[in-house]
């Protein structure tokens, strides 16, 4: 009898599994449209089963009372069995929902990987084409330079041998000038191509970084999972949707790792851009303007070109703030009072 009582005291009642809260931004991209209906049905089923004799709490109490006394077990023999159809249907619904979630996440990952591969292949093809053009232009420039050198040599020889060939010298001089113009034109075209390729590459890199954020002055524990640490921080600072748990936020994070060479710096990449934008927006309103968090901030993960341009735009932004104007730097553009302003690059 004492053994039964000690065993019943050690066992803790099982908690009724909670239906995961699904972000509306993820549901928009799920391949199965009936997933939302399935999730609502499971929530309704969980609400109906709560408090019935077949729920998990009643099962645990029934089991514990059976171990305390054989007589009380026979008295409670008319209680509902543990494996009720409602619980089985709920468990099956949860398992189906979990499988669909995993399938949806796997599909999103595959789409992202495929898109990245397509971008890499497109960039490689364009880079190869530019390289081929550069090689061809380099050969043409070398040929033109060789022709110019040859013309200079001919001019020198003609002056020494026969001083009367002034007209020929003028003709060769004009040819040299024309060659110089062609070379300048080719150099200008090459510079335009280089700038265009740099702009396209920066745009693709910017689009890729729009899924990421950087955290500054974060207390990082190397012996704990970085994703869980970031999720706990987001929940603690109330940057996630209301009633979100650490597990809910962790499921939205693809990867998180410390930044090399940046003390207390962490970079975080989310699965969904809308969820990342929500966290950044909450951080700007609640975290970045509060002075009591030891300098803890969430900032955008900018490309090198955008970051350098933003540093040059700082004087203009500060001047706008002093004048009572609204200024921000977004996607490589300086915007003051809702209008784009050219960045002064002479600073």
Same domain, 31 and 68: yes
Please report the sign of the dihedral spanned by the C-alpha atoms of residue 332, residue 337, residue 341, residue 343.
Answer: negative
**pLDDT surpasses 50 at 293:** yes
For residue 228, the model assigns a pLDDT of 92
Domain boundary among 55, 80, 108: 108
**pLDDT surpasses 90 at 271:** yes
Cβ–Cβ under 8 Å, residues 83 and 92: no
- Quick: pLDDT tens for 236-263: 888 888 888 999 999 999 999 998 888 8
CA 202 to chain centre: 15
- Answer whether 0.75 is exceeded by the pTM: no
For residue 160, the model assigns a pLDDT of 66
Same domain, 227 and 273: yes
Same domain, 284 and 338: no
Residue 77 lies in a domain: yes
Range of the domain at 221: 211-301
Residue 331 lies in a domain: yes
Percent of the chain with pLDDT over 90: 8
For residue 336, the model assigns a pLDDT of 86
CATH number at 253 reads: 3.30.70.330
Q: pLDDT averaged over the chain?
A: 75
**pLDDT surpasses 70 at 11:** no
Backbone angles phi, psi at 192, to 5 degrees: -65, -40
Domains contained in the chain, number: 4
Residue 86 lies in a domain: yes
Q: How many CA atoms are closer than 13 Å to the CA of 107, on its beta-carbon side?
A: 12
Residue 157 lies in a domain: yes
DSSP letter string over 161-176? H-TT-HHHHHHHHHHH
Residue 265 lies in a domain: yes
**pLDDT surpasses 50 at 97:** yes
Of residues 240, 228, 217, the one with CA closest to residue 291: 217
Same domain, 194 and 273: no
Residue 288 lies in a domain: yes
Same domain, 159 and 96: no
Same domain, 252 and 310: no
Same domain, 100 and 30: yes
Domain boundary among 209, 225, 241: 209
Same domain, 253 and 342: no
Domain boundary among 209, 225, 243: 209
Structure tokens of 17?
A: 């599994």
For residue 158, the model assigns a pLDDT of 60
Residue 176 lies in a domain: yes
Mean pLDDT of 142-166: 71
Instruction: For residue 31, name the pLDDT band (cuts at 50, 70, 90).
Output: very low
Distance CA 229, CA 249 (A): 11
| Per-residue CA distances from 270 to 4, 26, 163 (Å) | 49, 12, 78
Same domain, 192 and 163: yes
Same domain, 148 and 168: yes
32 vs 144: which has the higher pLDDT: 144
Same domain, 198 and 216: no
Same domain, 204 and 283: no
Percent of the chain with pLDDT over 70: 70
Residue 113 lies in a domain: no
- Quick: pLDDT tens for 50-65: 444 444 444 444 444 4
For residue 56, the model assigns a pLDDT of 44
In terms of average pLDDT, the best of 21-35, 50-64, 155-169 is 155-169
**pLDDT surpasses 80 at 174:** yes
Instruction: For residue 20, name the pLDDT band (cuts at 50, 70, 90).
Output: very low
């Amino acid at each position: 009898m004492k053994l039964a009582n000690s065993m019943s005291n050690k066992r803790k009642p099982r908690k009724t599994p909670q239906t995961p809260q699904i972000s509306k931004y993820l549901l928009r991209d799920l391949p199965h449209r009936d997933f939302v209906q399935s999730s609502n049905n499971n929530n309704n089923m969980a609400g109906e089963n709560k408090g019935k004799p077949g729920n998990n709490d009643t099962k645990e109490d029934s089991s514990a009372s059976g171990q305390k006394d054989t007589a009380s077990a026979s008295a409670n023999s008319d209680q509902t069995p543990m494996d009720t159809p409602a619980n089985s249907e709920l468990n099956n619904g949860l398992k189906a929902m979990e499988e669909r979630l995993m399938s949806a996440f796997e599909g999103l990952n595959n789409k992202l990987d495929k898109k990245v591969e397509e971008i890499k292949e497109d960039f490689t093809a364009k880079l190869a084409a530019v390289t081929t053009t550069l090689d061809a232009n380099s050969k043409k420039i070398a040929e033109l330079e060789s022709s110019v050198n040859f013309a200079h040599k001919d001019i020198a020889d003609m002056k020494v041998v026969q001083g009367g060939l002034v007209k020929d010298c003028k003709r060769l001089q004009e040819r040299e000038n024309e060659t110089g113009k062609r070379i300048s034109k080719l150099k200008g075209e090459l510079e335009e191509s280089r700038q265009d390729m740099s702009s396209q590459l920066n745009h693709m890199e910017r689009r890729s970084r729009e899924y990421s954020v950087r955290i500054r002055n974060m207390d990082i524990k190397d012996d704990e999972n970085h994703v869980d640490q970031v999720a706990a921080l987001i929940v603690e600072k109330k940057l996630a949707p209301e009633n979100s748990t650490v597990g809910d936020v962790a499921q939205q994070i693809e990867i998180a790792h410390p930044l090399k060479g940046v003390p207390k710096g962490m970079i975080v990449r989310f699965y969904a851009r809308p969820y990342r934008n929500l966290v950044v927006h909450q951080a700007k309103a609640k975290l970045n303007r509060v002075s009591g968090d030891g300098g803890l901030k969430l900032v955008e993960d900018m490309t090198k070109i955008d970051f350098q341009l933003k540093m040059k735009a700082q004087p203009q932004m500060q001047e706008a703030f002093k004048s009572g104007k609204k200024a921000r730097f977004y996607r490589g553009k300086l915007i003051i009072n809702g209008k784009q302003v050219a960045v002064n690059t002479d600073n």
